[in-house]
């Protein structure tokens, strides 16, 4: 069955980006001039998703507005003959159908996904978390969809290898090797200490899930951090049905952290021919100013 819908949870408070996130949604913070959430939605759209369900909280209206038409701005750009900008703004406004549901209490990722149950219904769906941007020609979530199709619509969790001392930041999977990129999962644990981690295969927040996950989410107890964890529900699901973990291709930026955000900004600036030269000149000047060498 084709995956048509994606859940993107955005109810988090973005405390790592305070004070910016005091008044604006973390997802709207741009990398250069493009909001972080744009990259997540773009990945979903390029994979063929046609409906995005944001799980939101108060203060997040700008995310929904960003993917809506802005007639006033369009008219202004048209009047001023700014046709390139007009085209860009129109494209964003018609990128995807957006709906949203409120997560009234922040009780964890599992709870956030469960909030979207009535909008998904009885079909498989994607979940993309906004703290990680993955850049690849063939979108990461599409790679998971393709594997799911190959395995009769099974759930697929995107994974990447992380250094062992980082396991406590992620959901960590274990399983039996199917091929060099795929595991048939036997378990998943949320944020284990390095000494307790079964592997170093972590999910950066890309999932294809079958709707059975909702019944499981209804029953799991609170887990790590006293929250309802999606990881714990997937751990139950893989005891009942085939669930695969897949090492997808792509460069991943941890834009939920300041160092990862900076890294993405530098990478995006260097790969953009329109700003590369000025960026490199600034960098050279600033390094010199502070007496630094690379
Ligand atoms: C969430 C998930 C975790 C996953 C991570 C990816 O944790 O619970 O399993 O590995 O996202 O970013 P969070 O970072 O929201 O605490």
pLDDT digits (tens, 9 = 90+) for 75-119: 999 999 999 999 999 999 999 999 999 999 999 999 999 999 999
pTM, two decimal places: 0.95
Q: Which residue has its alpha carbon closest to ligand 1 atom 10?
A: 170
Name the token pair of 24. 């604006």
Q: Is 231 in the pocket of ligand 1 (CB under 6 A)?
A: yes
Under 8 Å between Cβ of 46 and 6: no
Domain boundaries, the chain: 5-256
Under 8 Å between Cβ of 189 and 235: yes
Q: Is 203 in the pocket of ligand 1 (CB under 6 A)?
A: yes
Q: What tens digit of pLDDT does each residue of 104-157 get?
A: 999 999 999 999 999 999 999 999 998 999 999 999 999 999 999 999 999 999
Helix H, strand E, coil C: the string for 36-71 is HHHHHHHHHHHCCCCEEEEEECCCCHHHHHHCCCCH
What's residue 271's pLDDT? 96
The per-residue pLDDT of the chain, averaged, comes to 96
Residue 294 pLDDT greater than 90, yes or no:
no
Q: Which residue has the tokens 């998904």?
A: 120
Measure 174 CA to ligand 1 centroid, in angstroms. 16
Query: For the residues 221-241, what does the mean pLDDT come to?
Result: 97
What's residue 1's pLDDT? 77
Q: What tens digit of pLDDT does each residue of 33-61 get?
A: 999 999 999 999 999 999 999 999 998 99
- Rounded CA separation 75/79 (Å): 6
Choosing from 10, 107, 129 the residue with most ligand 1 atoms within 8 A of its CB, the one to mutate for a pocket test is 129
Strands 155-161 and 34-35: unpaired
Measure 288 CA to ligand 1 centroid, in angstroms. 39
Which of 35, 43, 86, 107 is closest to 64 using CA atoms?
35
Query: For the residues 241-248, what does the mean pLDDT come to?
Result: 98
Q: Is 132 in the pocket of ligand 1 (CB under 6 A)?
A: yes
Q: Is 253 in the pocket of ligand 1 (CB under 6 A)?
A: no
Measure 233 CA to ligand 1 centroid, in angstroms. 14
Q: Which atom of ligand 1 is nearest to the CA of 229?
A: 8
Q: How far is CA 104 from the centre of its chain?
A: 21
CA 67, 70, 74, 76 torsion-angle sign: negative
Q: Which ranges in the chain belong to alpha helices (H)?
A: 20-23, 36-46, 61-66, 71-79, 83-93, 109-115, 117-120, 140-150, 212-219, 230-240, 258-271, 276-289
* Angle of CA points 258, 5, 36, to nearest 5°: 20
Q: Is 170 in the pocket of ligand 1 (CB under 6 A)?
A: yes
What's residue 103's pLDDT? 96
Q: Is 202 in the pocket of ligand 1 (CB under 6 A)?
A: yes
Q: Which residue has its alpha carbon closest to ligand 1 atom 11?
A: 205
Query: For the residues 196-208, what does the mean pLDDT come to?
Result: 97
Q: Which residue has the tokens 């109810």?
A: 11
Q: Is 209 helix (H, G, I), strand (E, B) or coil?
A: strand
Q: What tens digit of pLDDT does each residue of 204-229 get?
A: 999 999 999 999 999 999 999 999 99
Task: List, in order, residues 6 or more apart from 223 with CB less than 8 Å away.
Answer: 108, 110, 190, 229, 231, 232
Q: Is 108 in the pocket of ligand 1 (CB under 6 A)?
A: no
Does domain 5-256 fall under CATH 3.90.550.10? My reply is yes
């Amino acid at each position: 069955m084709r995956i048509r819908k994606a859940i993107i949870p955005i109810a988090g408070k973005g405390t790592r980006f305070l004070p910016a996130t005091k008044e604006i949604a973390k997802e709207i913070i741009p990398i250069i001039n493009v909001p972080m959430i744009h990259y997540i939605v773009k990945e979903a759209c390029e994979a063929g998703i046609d409906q995005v369900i944001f799980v939101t909280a108060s203060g997040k209206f700008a995310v929904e507005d960003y993917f809506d038409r802005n007639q006033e701005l369009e008219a202004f750009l048209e009047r001023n003959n700014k046709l390139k900008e007009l085209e860009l703004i129109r494209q964003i406004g018609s990128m995807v159908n957006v709906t949203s549901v409120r997560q009234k209490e922040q009780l964890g990722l599992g709870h956030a996904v469960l909030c979207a149950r009535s909008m998904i219904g009885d079909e498989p769906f994607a979940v993309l978390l906004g703290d990680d941007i993955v850049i690849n020609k063939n979108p990461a979530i599409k790679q998971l969809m393709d594997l799911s199709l190959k395995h009769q619509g099974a759930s697929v969790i995107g994974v990447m290898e992380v250094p062992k001392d980082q396991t406590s930041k992620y959901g960590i999977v274990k399983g039996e090797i199917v091929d060099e990129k795929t595991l048939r999962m036997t378990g998943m644990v949320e944020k284990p200490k390095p000494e307790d981690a079964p592997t170093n295969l972590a999910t950066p927040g890309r999932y294809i899930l079958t709707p059975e996950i909702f019944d499981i989410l209804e029953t799991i107890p609170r887990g790590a951090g006293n929250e309802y964890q999606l990881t714990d529900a997937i751990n139950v699901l893989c005891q009942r049905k085939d669930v695969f973990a897949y090492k997808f291709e792509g460069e991943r930026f941890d834009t939920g952290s300041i160092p990862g955000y900076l890294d993405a900004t530098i990478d995006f600036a260097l790969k953009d021919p329109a700003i590369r030269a000025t960026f490199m000149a600034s960098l050279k000047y600033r390094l010199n100013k502070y007496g630094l060498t690379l």
